[in-house]
Chains A and B, each alone.
Chain A
Amino acid sequence: MTKPTNSPDITPRKNSDGGFYSDVVKDHFFHPKNFMEDESAYKADGQGVVGSPACGDVMRVWIKVDPKTERLTDCRWKTFGCASAIAATSMMSTMVIENNGMTLEQARQIRPQDIMERLGGLPARKIHCSVLGDKALRSAINDYYRKSGQIDKIEIEQGRVIDKVLKITDHDIEEAVLEGADTLDKIQSKTKVGTGDPSCIPEVEQLMKFYKEKYFG
């Protein structure tokens, strides 16, 4: 039985200078696993799609679920993006169906850093691509619950509002950090956080520190 790995948050640094992509990344990039070959012939139980605000990339995920066990029996994907985006989705699709498949609740818990760890790390400026896959997966899971009438199980990702004027959430801050904003200035130039409600700035700085440590060690 697989559980989402509870590894300590990984530091992508080891690959961030020079060498660029790890062998695992290269393998999944050059030999992508489980990608969707023929959509029209595929009966999906759920599907989800996300786009990246950072570089305009798109990712689509299809899942099949065993209704009795609510385990994933198949996970297919398509990705428009760079090598790490492709490798991350490929790796994710492998992780959720290996060893008889994760339960939907387990799959929902999968985090970008779990995928990154299995990939042997990603270059720092490529981490933001790896957060797309699990987002698309969660949206596919919601889609499955919707289709199977389990409306109560749908989880809309909302996040906690930090800047009440501009309605900026902790997710927005997290995303900004993942996209490389490592100072308050850079976070503000990406999100405008605190320009409407300056009183939230200390909290933004806290969050920035937290996410920086979480993702970059």
Chain B
Amino acid sequence: MPNNPLSFRPERKSEVEKSHRTKPSTAHRVGHGLRSVYLDNAAATPLDAKVLKAMLPYFSSIAANPSSLHSAGQAANKAVTQARKSIAEIINGHADEIIFTSGGTESDNLAINGIISVIPISNSVIPAKAGIQNPMDPRIRKDDKRESLPHVVTTAIEHHAILELLTRLQKNGAIDLTVIKPQKNGVVKVDDIMSAVNDRTVLVSVMYANNEIGTIQPIGDIGRAILKYRAAKRGTLYEVRGTFPLFHSDACQAAGYLDLNVEKLHVDLLTLNGGKIYGPKGIGLLFVRRGVKLSPTVIGGGQERGLRSGTENVPGIVGMAKALELVQKNHEKESKRLAQFRDRLIKGLLRIPKSRLNGDPAERLPNNVNISFMDIEGEAAMLYLDAKGISCSTGSACASTSLDPSHVILALGMSYEAAHGSLRFSLGHDTIRSDIDYVIKVMPGIVEMLRKISPVTLDMSHF
């Protein structure tokens, strides 16, 4: 039986592929004769050879501490300064607005903790009610307390680095939190965000593009609306006139494909990271607009304007700058190329019965495909694909350490089962057309096989 999914033989690569790259990196594609198709670029990207080349000297020949005054130290210092400058140029900011961190998660944490801890505590616990000075006053009700806390607005589809931290701060009584649900297509409405903003709102955090379903949020529009709100607002408990709310966006997934001009996005804080843009892992940055006051989360020798102490990760910083330069230089062309593949893959996979695309078909990153196959479980499907040499990921509960299904897919109003059977394919620089066709070819058999052994048959009218 040629197409029997039960006979799980590794697929051989038959044709010679021609990559779009001038120098195709085919080594990883043909190892052991098993065709290897890496479609998990939203999780991690391979390091670009040019980035590695730029980084190498800073591991050995220029390895001094940038804070040292000797000439070796100054050479390292120069590299960091240069990297900072080039990144600032790309995002249309200033060099002193770039704070290097260890990655996206740390940048998100610095943005949130940094803001919340500069809010004066006394102000945040004493209700703004006339006459009450003592925070222990029995007349203070729980609601009064909540209503006196600094308020944060975010969305239900943020990365855990945002959501987990914010819910923890809320539990600890440090903030009042509003979590906005996206529309069914995974895009948040500007009005929904703005109607949650109030006089106590100190921060609005909305990701630029979602890591699971790839939907792109209207960051520029939200930014503009916030500017308008600020301008019309008088000073409050926490602020001099018009400072708050600040606007933060996590752009880790967007950086490879979208415009990062902070003046167009109107963000006060922007998170970027190296490991998703063909740069090194373990490096990231937070753009902090001039005039925004943050308190440091890592304290020590005062590097990074005192906001993030610790000897600079020089090779990482150099690599991050190079990677950002390369992806941004090519982002329009590459977006066009991948969007075609993306749409081809979506079209091909949706031919499988009982499948659904998660997230808007157009307002999404050019490299993201996220589809739910009903009646099957995603981790099993992922491993069957893996046996065919295809790497992807899933929003299934079974694959998460907490045994919770994807909060993003649930936030779209999709069922638990839909989250369970969701697969994410994230395309990248190495993706070629025949990779897409290969997935389209093997997927139906896998779904069919897993449905054969599944006791679940959902009624599609519910979706």
**Does A82 interact with chain B (Cβ within 8 Å)?**
yes
Within 8 A of A (CB), among B445-463: 452-456
A37 contacts across to B, CB distance below 8 A: 452
A56 contacts across to B, CB distance below 8 A: 397, 405, 416-417, 420
- Give the nearest-CB partner of B379 in chain A: A82
With A29-B383, A54-B403, A55-B403 already in contact, the answer to whether A78 and B397 are too (CB < 8 A) is no
Shortest Cβ gap from A24 to chain B (Å) = 15
Mask, B63-90, CB within 8 Å of A = 1, is: 0000000000000000000000000000
User: Please, how many angstroms separate the alpha-carbon atoms of A129 and B8 in the complex?
Assistant: 24
**Does A204 interact with chain B (Cβ within 8 Å)?**
no
Q: Is the CB of A59 within 8 A of B455?
A: yes
Q: Is the CB of A57 within 8 A of B453?
A: no
- Give the nearest-CB partner of A126 in chain B: B398
**Does B140 interact with chain A (Cβ within 8 Å)?**
no
Q: Is the CB of B399 within 8 A of A82?
A: yes
Mask, A120-163, CB within 8 Å of B = 1, is: 00000100110000000000000000000000000000000000
B417 contacts across to A, CB distance below 8 A: 56
B8 contacts across to A, CB distance below 8 A: 30-31
Q: Is the CB of B376 within 8 A of A80?
A: yes
**Does A108 interact with chain B (Cβ within 8 Å)?**
no
Shortest Cβ gap from A133 to chain B (Å) = 12
**Does B401 interact with chain A (Cβ within 8 Å)?**
yes
Q: Is the CB of B403 within 8 A of A78?
A: no
**Does A49 interact with chain B (Cβ within 8 Å)?**
yes
With A30-B8, A30-B384, A54-B403 already in contact, the answer to whether A82 and B455 are too (CB < 8 A) is no
- Give the nearest-CB partner of A49 in chain B: B455
**Does B1 interact with chain A (Cβ within 8 Å)?**
no
User: Please, how many angstroms separate the alpha-carbon atoms of A30 and B387 in the complex?
Assistant: 9
B380 contacts across to A, CB distance below 8 A: 29, 81-83, 86
Q: How many residues of B contact A (CB 8 A)?
A: 25
Within 8 A of A (CB), among B393-442: 396-399, 401, 403, 405, 416-417, 420
Instruction: Select the residue from A31, A54, A55, A128 with max chain B CB neighbours within 10 A.
Output: A55
- Give the nearest-CB partner of B416 in chain A: A56
Q: Is the CB of A80 within 8 A of B455?
A: yes
Q: Is the CB of B452 within 8 A of A57?
A: no
B401 contacts across to A, CB distance below 8 A: 125
Chain A interface residue count: which class?
20 to 34
User: Please, how many angstroms separate the alpha-carbon atoms of A29 and B449 in the complex?
Assistant: 11
**Does B158 interact with chain A (Cβ within 8 Å)?**
no
Shortest Cβ gap from A46 to chain B (Å) = 16
Shortest Cβ gap from B394 to chain A (Å) = 10
Shortest Cβ gap from A167 to chain B (Å) = 24
Within 8 A of B (CB), among A69-109: 77-83, 85-86
**Does A44 interact with chain B (Cβ within 8 Å)?**
no
Q: Is the CB of A31 within 8 A of B6?
A: yes
**Does B108 interact with chain A (Cβ within 8 Å)?**
no
User: Please, how many angstroms separate the alpha-carbon atoms of A214 and B107 in the complex?
Assistant: 42
User: Please, how many angstroms separate the alpha-carbon atoms of A56 and B375 in the complex?
Assistant: 12
Q: Is the CB of A81 within 8 A of B452?
A: no
> Can you list 18 A-B contacts (CB < 8 A)?
A35-B452, A55-B397, A55-B398, A55-B405, A56-B420, A57-B377, A57-B398, A58-B456, A79-B455, A80-B455, A81-B377, A82-B379, A82-B398, A82-B399, A83-B383, A86-B380, A125-B401, A129-B398
A-B contacts besides A82-B377, A85-B398, 17 pairs, CB < 8 Å: A30-B8, A32-B453, A35-B453, A37-B452, A54-B403, A55-B398, A56-B420, A59-B455, A60-B455, A78-B454, A80-B377, A80-B456, A82-B380, A82-B398, A83-B380, A125-B401, A129-B398
Nearest 8 A/B pairs, CB to CB: A82-B398, A78-B455, A55-B397, A60-B455, A82-B379, A35-B453, A55-B403, A80-B456
Q: B interface vs A, CB < 8 Å?
A: 6, 8, 375-377, 379-380, 383-384, 387, 396-399, 401, 403, 405, 416-417, 420, 452-456
